[in-house]
Chains A and B, each alone.
Chain A
Amino acid sequence: MKLLTHNVLSSKCLKGVSVGYPLRLNATDIKVVDVDYNSEFVSRMIPKINYSALYDAAQSIGHLNGLPDAVVDDFESNEDFLKAVHHVLLEVDIVSGDLECPESGRKFPITRGIPNMLVNENEVNEINGSNGYNN
């Protein structure tokens, strides 16, 4: 699981959880992979992501690699900054560990790089009827 995915995942599917974000990240196995750098994509993602959540997540697993704690002003043209964000967003891959709901403490395991966000039937909001996208 990449930190980009972590940045947009929440646990609000759980009953009684209203925000469920950001998920606490516990990593037992981390792999750093090479991904081609695309400055356009990274600079387009920066305004869309929650930067402080990204910073905290990278820090919590010790893979900051020089990422500054806030978005720099000239981020679109700052190659060093974009490369640092690129590395943290796309190249740090959590192979195993878990994601922990900040409200309930429910843990979602990550195995072979794939997070399992399935909840048990007693943990979902509604048993019958439509989903949470309606509210």
Chain B
Amino acid sequence: MCSVSWKKYLLWFAHDLVDFRLAEMKSLLSLLCIEMKWVEEPSDHPFWIVQMQSDECVKKLASRSISLRGVIDLWAHSDCIEDLHKQLKKLDHDFYKPYFQPHLSFKVEVETFSNHLSMAERVEKIESFSYLPLAGPVNLKNPDVKLWFMEYYGLEPNNIPDKPYLYYFGRWMIDGQRHLIKEFSLKTRKFIGNTSMDAQISVLMANQAKVKSGDLVMDPFVGTGSLLVPAAYFGAYVLGTDIDYLMLHGKTRPSRIQQKVREADESIHSNLWQYGLQNQYIDVVVADSSLPLWVKNFELDAIITDPPYGIREPTERVGTHKTPQITEEQAATHIPSKIDYDHDHLYQDLLNFAAKHLKLGGRLVTFIPILRELYCEENLPKHPCLNLISNSEQILSAHISRRLLTFEKVSIETNNEVGERTFTPNLENFRDKYFNHCEESRAIRRQKNSYHKWAPRSSTDE
């Protein structure tokens, strides 16, 4: 006895940040309390056929997802075009009647994945569906019903087959949130820095953190506040801390090449004003994240952060290797000396901070830079109160990637439960490794180059 009916939908994902897709879907399903069944195992394939219980669930999911291009009410799919037509012709009249009314305008959209069709070819494809009893007028700009036909030519644009691997036909239901990429683009943002996070990933991070309206969200390495923007957009109240006084006051050197000096009112607050999100702004504080700052019972719903990697932004904390000698007169105007904040300590402090200040079930979402050769999942930072929920890789170069880690707080911290300081060979002195690694490869490259340069000559000599 199952009273719930499952409906089949096609999810179309943007073919970007493929490793983040499943993690985002899982986070959103859990945040929005939606159940979804996979008809096929999720893969790096941009089309997923899934089952959900209602159109309402689909709308909720699409209202948050940045990976989704859109959702299609799937009418037919096949690896053979004749079969697809056969399936469509077999559809019950009552099934498509609600969409084929005389007063509803329509459009048939022909799309291809990994291939391009000429206009004539597209028209030909559209006409091949002429048996559908469409009654309304055609409207290409703003149709009431958008029918959608997709030919999928695989994932290798350099190896396109003659015939598509798969065909899909259905009714376009709703767009995902890809428009936010443009809306929150760093190009048009008032206050940005060298390491501001791009719009797409920052929305992804807010989704990973399951940010919802009325949440309290913090970024302990806030910088220009790029991660707070989507969190505020989803209704959270945001605050952040950073050790860089000049950054929070918008007094660092501008990052835009044409800009000589920063404008007077550049700040995280004015970024939120720009997007009409100023009501969500709580505060930013100049503080060292390696030191305790907040009262014990201060509780956060989520922590979203991208700590400095030590390459383009320094990893620093207050300290000195000398014996500090600051006279009383100097104290007020003294600029604290900073020492390197190594990654092992930084991530352990971050996890301890999360274990202490997150609510139960709250999430910590953070990036971690990785030397790909040395990566090993066991070496990732851990904490007894935090469960690693997902781990997605974004490859940055041949040697370097960064991983988006999502932790969920699963138990209340007791005093003796502190994160173990794991030995992480890929993190210790990430900066040194990064530069030495490149140095080494440069040396090898030089050797190779000289070999190629001299080898032909030596062979002709013989």
Contacts and interface: CB of A to CB of B under 8 A. Distances in A.
The judgment on whether A and B are partners is: yes
B285 interface: yes
A51 B248 CA distance: 29
Interface in B261-309: 267, 269, 278-279, 282-288, 290-295, 297-299
B286 A10 contact: no
Interface in B322-373: 324-326, 331-332, 334, 336-337, 345, 348-349, 352-353, 356
Contact of A9 (B216, B267, B295, B331): B295
Contact of A121 (B245, B249, B324): B324
A2 B352 CA distance: 26
B63 to A, nearest CB: 19
Given A36-B279, A48-B299, A121-B319, A116 B286 contact: yes
B286 A117 contact: yes
Interface string B189-231: 0000000000000000000000001101000000000000000
B349 A118 contact: no
Interface stretch (A54-62, A71-79, A125-133): A125-133
- Interface class of chain B by DSSP: loop
A116 B286 CA distance: 5
A108 B415 CA distance: 29
Given A10-B292, A130-B345, A130-B421, A117 B287 contact: yes
A35 interface: yes
Given A5-B239, A48-B297, A114-B249, A120 B352 contact: no
Interface in A96-124: 107, 111-122, 124
Query: What size tier do the contact residues of chain B reach?
Result: 35 or more
Contact of A114 (B286, B294, B299, B418): B286
B331 A120 contact: yes
A41 B214 contact: yes
Given A12-B292, A133-B292, A115 B285 contact: yes
A41 B326 CA distance: 44
Contacts of A124: 291, 318-319
A82 interface: no
B291 A132 contact: yes
Contacts of B427: none
Contacts of B332: 107
Contact of B214 (A38, A116, A127, A134): A38
A80 B318 CA distance: 44
A35 B353 CA distance: 29
A131 B285 contact: no
B25 interface: no
Given A4-B283, A50-B295, 14 more contacts: A10-B295, A112-B249, A113-B283, A119-B318, A121-B320, A121-B326, A122-B324, A122-B325, A122-B326, A124-B318, A124-B319, A127-B320, A128-B319, A131-B290
The 3 closest A-B pairs by CB, nearest first: A122-B324, A13-B291, A133-B352
